[in-house]
């Protein structure tokens, strides 16, 4: 097996965010919550990147105008209230009093306008809003007024999304080019970033924001009264799953985000450790192909590549044999939601022999060109996906260059639109937040808007037109028909390869209280006994 190691990503954050020399870690105590995230943290800009670990970090520091509760309903968060008029074409939003950024400056409506306009450039949902936007103005310090050319009744739900997050930051920082990372980390959330204690690839630290004023409401996931109950949140980056599990059992850390399934029985038997499901929607495992150049730009080759993979084999490698923890095969919408259907799913339901897939590749015109697979070997779940995919691809004669690298390098390299010989890529694994894939509007991975699409940059005007029609349709039968047509088209063009839905468990010290359920690990409301 040909392997190359690329380990540059661990220093990327230090290069982009103003950081002082790292200080020694402080000992954990009752006022410090020590967490092991599911990946190394290489970017703190939740608009520039969609990396899950960056999304999780953003929740500590930044707020959004609306927050989702445990049922995923959108509730005012930075707002004291809002109104919707003119058939969802005019929205007026009023900020709460007393909102302050971490530097002590007040949060003003113009900060929100600048932040949201930056977000709308990068996020597929934001792009949808921008396409309908007549104006977004701040007539005074606490008021935002949206005027839309077309109705968008899901605006509140969109502004509560977590990935990429429509976070609010000072206008001077939000003025940063959306395709460049911000250089200062200043939000208004319950915790603030402590740059002096950041150690690339090892530790990240946040401190309680004493200026934060929580809402006077019960907390539910990202909505209500977000109260920081500890003084510090410390992330320890521990790539080795066994080492992380041992640290949890020994009480050296308080919470491991996603221990690997093989270790769950051991953790369940451990004294003082609790294992449970915090994210009841889980993750959609995918492969994202580059559609700009190379073999993966050919839709027929993409279909043959997906046909080479057994989704059940992928999910077994990721989560083990317990079928309660995964579902495969899946389509392009979250199973169990109204948009979910079976159109086009014969591509993932029918198992084909290697010879049959080789025939598909030959008919598609594949001539043995190299395909560079970005293989994040430090990410347990993505490593498992990669191992199965690479073996499956090679079995049918695909010329796979299996390039092992850390996840931070994948996050950086996937932004490159160059050809493979100039530092580009062909395909990589990812995990989409399943809670977002409820319908064609929020299932952003299917977007076919070319240069504005997520990394891979598929261009599909057909699916874009159907998506626009879906948003304008109120007839339930027509919506169902469009759901099927959109999925059938997605299985034809394959903006990504849907491989299955998996439900990672979390492990934490039993002395922790107040952990909240939701698609994102959140650090408010948590106390240590």
Where does the pLDDT of residue 165 fall: very low under 50, low under 70, confident under 90, or very high at 90 and above?
Answer: confident
Q: Check whether residue 86 and residue 186 sit in a common domain.
A: no
Residue at which a domain ends, from 154, 174, 194? 174
Q: Check whether residue 77 and residue 224 sit in a common domain.
A: no
Residue 83 CA to its chain's centroid (Å):
29
In a domain, 60, yes or no: no
Residue of 55, 45, 53 whose CA lies nearest to 169:
45
Q: Check whether residue 432 and residue 402 sit in a common domain.
A: yes
Q: Can you read off the two tokens belonging to residue 22?
A: 């790292």
The DSSP symbol for 511 reads T
- CATH code, domain with 239: 3.40.190.10
Range of the domain at 200: 10-45+178-279+505-528
The residues that bridge with 232 in the sheet, in sequence order, are: 32, 207
In a domain, 55, yes or no: no
pLDDT(69) > 70 = yes
CA-CA-CA-CA dihedral for 220, 223, 228, 232, to nearest 10: 100
Answer yes or no: are the C-beta atoms of 377 and 406 closer than 8 Å.
yes
Q: Check whether residue 375 and residue 442 sit in a common domain.
A: yes
- Rg of the chain in Å (alpha carbons): 23
Q: Check whether residue 424 and residue 349 sit in a common domain.
A: yes
Residue at which a domain ends, from 156, 174, 192? 174
In a domain, 53, yes or no: no
Q: Would you tell me the crossing angle of helices 476-493 and 299-307 to the nearest 10 degrees?
A: 90
Helix (H, G, I), strand (E, B) or coil at 46: coil
Q: Give residue-wise pLDDT tens across range 183-197.
A: 999 999 999 999 999
Q: Give residue-wise pLDDT tens across range 339-394.
A: 999 999 999 999 999 999 999 999 999 999 999 999 999 888 999 999 999 999 99
Q: Check whether residue 341 and residue 395 sit in a common domain.
A: yes
Distance CA 494, CA 98 (A): 47
Q: Any idea which of 21-30, 88-97, 419-428 has the lowest mean pLDDT? A: 21-30
Answer yes or no: are the C-beta atoms of 191 and 85 closer than 8 Å.
no
Neighbour count for residue 510 (Cβ, 10 Å): 11
- The pTM (predicted TM-score) of the whole model is 0.82
- Mean pLDDT score of the chain: 92
Average pLDDT of the segment spanning 400-409: 95
Q: Which residue has the higher pLDDT, 30 or 25?
A: 30
Residues in the chain: 529
Q: Check whether residue 37 and residue 183 sit in a common domain.
A: yes
- CATH code, domain with 116: 3.90.76.10
In a domain, 61, yes or no: no
Helix (H, G, I), strand (E, B) or coil at 243: helix
In a domain, 319, yes or no: yes
Domain count, the chain: 3
Answer yes or no: are the C-beta atoms of 206 and 231 closer than 8 Å.
no
Write a three-state SS string for 404-428.
Answer: EECHHHHHHHCCCCCCHHHCCCCEE
pLDDT(26) > 80 = no
Residue at which a domain ends, from 140, 174, 208? 174
Q: Check whether residue 228 and residue 152 sit in a common domain.
A: no
Where does the pLDDT of residue 106 fall: very low under 50, low under 70, confident under 90, or very high at 90 and above?
Answer: very high
**Percent of all residues in the chain with a pLDDT value above 70, rounded to a whole number:** 94
Q: Is beta strand 326-327 parallel, antiparallel or unpaired with respect to 399-405?
A: unpaired
Q: Check whether residue 442 and residue 308 sit in a common domain.
A: yes
Average pLDDT of the segment spanning 21-47: 74
Strand order in the sheet with 370-376: 5-6, 399-405, 370-376, 427-433, 283-289, 497-502, 326-327
Q: Check whether residue 155 and residue 101 sit in a common domain.
A: yes
Q: Is beta strand 32-36 parallel, antiparallel or unpaired with respect to 232-236?
A: parallel
Neighbour count for residue 318 (Cβ, 10 Å): 28
- Check residue 3 and give its pLDDT: 32
Q: How many helices (H) and strands (E) does the chain have?
A: 16, 22
In a domain, 227, yes or no: yes
Where does the pLDDT of residue 25 fall: very low under 50, low under 70, confident under 90, or very high at 90 and above?
Answer: very low
Q: Check whether residue 187 and residue 239 sit in a common domain.
A: yes
Contacts of 323 (CB under 8 A, 6+ apart): none
- CATH code, domain with 425: 3.10.105.10
In a domain, 50, yes or no: no
Residue of 364, 363, 332 whose CA lies nearest to 345:
332
Average pLDDT of the segment spanning 1-6: 34
pLDDT(24) > 60 = no
- Check residue 514 and give its pLDDT: 96
In a domain, 211, yes or no: yes
- Check residue 29 and give its pLDDT: 65
Q: Check whether residue 167 and residue 235 sit in a common domain.
A: no
pLDDT(120) > 60 = yes
């Amino acid at each position: 097996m040909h392997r190359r190691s690329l380990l540059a990503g661990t220093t990327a954050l230090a290069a982009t965010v103003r950081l002082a020399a790292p200080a020694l870690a402080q000992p954990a105590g009752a006022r410090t919550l020590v967490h092991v995230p599911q990946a190394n943290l290489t970017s703190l800009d939740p608009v520039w990147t969609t990396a899950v670990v960056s999304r999780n970090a953003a929740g500590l520091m930044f707020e959004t105008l609306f927050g989702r509760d445990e049922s995923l309903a959108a509730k005012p968060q930075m707002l004291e209230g809002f109104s919707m008029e003119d058939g969802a074409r005019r929205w007026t939003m009023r900020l709460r009093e007393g909102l302050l950024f971490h530097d002590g400056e007040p949060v003003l409506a113009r900060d929100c306008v600048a932040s949201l306009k930056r977000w709308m450039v990068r996020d597929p949902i934001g792009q949808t809003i921008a396409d309908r936007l007549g104006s977004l103005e701040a007539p005074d310090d606490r008021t935002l007024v949206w005027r839309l050319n077309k109705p968008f009744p899901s605006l509140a739900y969109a502004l509560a999304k977590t990935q990429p997050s429509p976070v609010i930051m000072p206008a001077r920082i939000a003025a940063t080019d959306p395709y460049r990372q911000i250089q200062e980390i200043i939000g208004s959330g319950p915790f603030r970033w402590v740059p002096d204690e950041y150690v690339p690839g090892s530790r990240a630290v946040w401190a309680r924001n004493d200026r934060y004023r929580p809402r006077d409401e019960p907390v539910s996931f990202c909505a209500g009264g977000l109260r920081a109950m500890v003084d510090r949140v410390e992330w320890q980056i521990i790539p080795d799953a066994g080492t992380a599990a041992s640290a949890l059992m020994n009480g050296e850390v308080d919470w491991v985000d996603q221990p690997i399934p093989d270790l769950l029985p051991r953790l369940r038997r451990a004294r003082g450790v609790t294992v449970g499901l915090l994210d009841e929607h889980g993750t959609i495992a995918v492969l994202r192909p580059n559609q700009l150049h190379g073999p993966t730009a050919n839709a027929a080759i993409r279909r043959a590549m997906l046909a080479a993979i057994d989704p059940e084999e992928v999910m077994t490698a990721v989560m083990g044999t317990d079928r309660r923890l995964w579902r495969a095969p899946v389509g392009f919408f979250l199973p169990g939601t109204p948009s979910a259907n079976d159109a086009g799913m014969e591509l993932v339901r029918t198992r084909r022999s290697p010879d049959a897939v080789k025939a598909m590749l030959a008919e598609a015109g594949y001539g043995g060109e190299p395909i560079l697979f970005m293989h994040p070997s430090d990410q347990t779940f993505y490593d498992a996906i990669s191992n199965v995919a690479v073996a499956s691809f090679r079995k049918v004669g695909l010329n796979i260059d299996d390039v092992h690298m850390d996840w931070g390098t994948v996050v950086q390299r996937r932004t490159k639109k160059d050809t493979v010989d100039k530092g580009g890529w062909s395909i990589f694994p990812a995990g989409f937040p399943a809670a977002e894939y409820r319908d064609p509007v929020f299932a952003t991975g299917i977007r076919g808007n070319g240069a504005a699409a997520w990394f891979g940059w598929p261009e599909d005007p057909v699916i874009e037109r159907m998506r626009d029609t879906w948003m304008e349709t109120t007839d339930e039968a027509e919506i169902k028909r469009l759901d099927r047509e959109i999925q059938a088209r997605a299985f034809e063009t394959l903006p990504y390869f849907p491989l299955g839905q998996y439900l990672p468990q979390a492990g934490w010290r039993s002395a922790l209280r107040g952990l909240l359920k939701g698609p994102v690990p959140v650090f408010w409301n948590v106390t240590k006994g």
